[in-house]
Homo-oligomer: A and B are copies of this chain.
Amino acid sequence: MKQSTHTLEISTRGKRLYEITSPIVEWVRQQRIQTGLLTIFCRHTSASLLVQENADPTVRTDIESYFNRLAPEDGPYNHNSEGTDDMPAHLKTALTQVQLSVPVIDGSLALGTWQGIYLFEHRTRPHGRQIALHLIGE
- Give A contacts to B, CB under 8 Å: 1, 3, 5, 35-37, 39, 41-45, 50-53, 56, 58-59, 61-63, 65-67, 70-71, 75-79, 81, 87, 90-91, 93-105, 110-115, 130, 132-134, 136-138
In the complex, which of the residues B81, B94, B132, B137 contacts A56, with contact meaning CB atoms closer than 8 Å? B81
* CB <8 Å contact, A90 and B112: no
Bound-state CA distance A93–B99 (Å) is 15
* CB <8 Å contact, A45 and B35: no
Question: Known: A35-B5, A94-B96. Contact between A62 and B43, CB under 8 A?
Answer: no
Bound-state CA distance A78–B45 (Å) is 29
Bound-state CA distance A90–B50 (Å) is 11
* CB <8 Å contact, A110 and B52: no
* CB <8 Å contact, B99 and A35: no
> Which of chain B's residues have a CB closer than 8 A to the CB of A136?
37, 136-137
User: What 4 A-B pairs have minimum CB-CB distances, sorted nearest first?
Assistant: A43-B112, A103-B134, A58-B79, A110-B132
In the complex, which of the residues B56, B63, B104 contacts A91, with contact meaning CB atoms closer than 8 Å? B63
